[in-house]
Amino acid sequence: MPLTFADESTGVWALLATGPVRRVVEHAGNHAARVAVKAAFTRFAQPDGSVLTINVYWVLVART
């Protein structure tokens, strides 16, 4: 599932709000988390400045 952010700062802002990245912020601090997310985004940067990631989501549906 593609996930596109208009620009790097929007993507960083969005990811910093997620549960797993909030744990990183709590552990390493806001600055370190921002630096790590920006570094991860470099390979997903598009020519127009947007950031495009392709994500795979796994869902388990079960009945008891």
User: Which tokens in the block code for residue 28?
Assistant: 């390493």
Q: What is the pTM of this model?
A: 0.74
**Residue 59 maps to a domain:** no
**Residue 13 maps to a domain:** yes
* DSSP characters over the chain: -EEEESSHHHHHHHHHTSHHHHHHHHHH-HHHHHHHHHHHHGGGB-TTS-EEEE----------
**pLDDT in the model for residue 1:** 81
Contact between 59 and 41 (Cβ < 8 Å): no
Rounded CA-CA distance 46/50 in Å is 5
**pLDDT in the model for residue 26:** 93
Domain residue limits at 15: 2-54
Total domains in the fold of the chain:
1
**Residue 17 maps to a domain:** yes
**Residue 15 maps to a domain:** yes
**pLDDT in the model for residue 41:** 92
Contact between 32 and 42 (Cβ < 8 Å): no
**pLDDT in the model for residue 18:** 86
User: What is the per-residue pLDDT across 11-59, written as a single tens digit (0 to 9) for each?
Assistant: 999 989 888 888 889 999 999 999 999 999 999 999 999 999 988 777 8
